[in-house]
Amino acid sequence: MQHEEIQESLRYPIGKFIAPERITLEQVGHWIEDIAALPAAFRGIAESLSPAQLEQPYRPGGWTARQVVHHLPDSHLNAFLRFKLALTEAAPQVKPYREGAWAELPDVALTPIGVSLDLLEALHQRWSVLMRAMPPDAWALTYVHPGYGRIYRLDEAAGLYAWHGRHHLAHLQLVATES
């Protein structure tokens, strides 16, 4: 493999998210179950990492495992809020955030990872309850993401965030197997 291909495979160890052309309610159900199950799997890997591994990047130039652990609830909190906005407003424009800058804030370095793991667990429990209770037509509701210049349907967003959790779980697995 060439250097660029190796970097890409480390950056996206499970590949990039590609939304199906047609999303079924059955597929959404699988994504909800992925989102519900993620915190336990994520905790299992994160808590197995040594202090040195937590400070290790998953790829050259990438975030440390600690940054990944704190990033996931940050990102999924934003996603949960985007769902709630789309369910209560007509095609709301959501606020983007600078995730790289958030990863550098002092709380990431100073907060024990257990705090973010607990937050992820509670958040995914709430989010799963919300998604399981959504009527079928609600999955077509949308929000506008100005940072990406596009509109997201909630069914697609569910797939994106199910993928996002597995994506960062794979990053932690890379760190766990390297040492």
Q: What is the pLDDT of residues 87-120, one digit of tens each?
A: 999 999 999 999 999 999 999 999 999 999 999 9
Q: How far is CA 138 from the centre of its chain?
A: 21
Superfamily of domain 25-178: dinb family like domain (1.20.120.450)
| Counts of helices then strands in the chain (DSSP H, E) | 8, 2
Residue 79: closest CA among 128, 116, 22, 118: 128
DSSP 105: S
> At 7, is the pLDDT very low, low, confident or very high (cuts 50, 70, 90)?
confident
Instruction: Provide the residue ranges of all domains of the chain, joining segments of one domain with +.
Output: 25-178
- List, for residues 48-84, the tens digit of each pLDDT value: 999 999 999 999 999 999 999 999 999 999 999 999 9
SS3 150: strand
